[in-house]
Amino acid sequence: MRLHILVDDAVVAELDQRVGRGRRSSFVAQLIREALDDARRWDDLESGFGSLEDSGHDWDIDAGDWVRSQRREDPRRVG
C-alpha cells in the first residue's frame, strides 16, 4: 500500500546519505514497524501499572537476595 507523507528536505537528505535514495521506503517502513511494536509494548506495560500491591512481597526486604534465591531454586538453571 502506498502512503504519502511530507518530510523536511534536511531529513530526506540525511535519509539518502544513510540508506540511499533507492532504499528510502524500506527503511521508513522498518522504522514504522519498530515504532508500532514499541508503542504496543508500552501499552502492555502501562496496562499492568498498579496491578501489584505496593508492599507485601517476598522481595520487599532485599530484591537482590530474592532474585538470587529464585535462581538457585530453579533446577533448569546452569551455573
Per-residue pLDDT tens for 3-53?
999 999 999 999 999 999 999 999 999 999 999 999 999 999 999 998 888
Ordered by start, the domain boundaries in the chain are 1-48
CA distance 55 to 18: 49
Query: Are the beta carbons of 60 and 52 closer than 8 angstroms?
Result: no
- What is the reported pLDDT for 79? 63
Going by C-beta distance under 8 Å and a sequence separation of 6 or more, which residues neighbour residue 24? Answer: 12, 15, 16
pLDDT given for residue 72 in this prediction: 87
What is the pTM assigned to this prediction?
Answer: 0.64
Q: Are 74 and 66 in contact (CB under 8 A)?
A: no
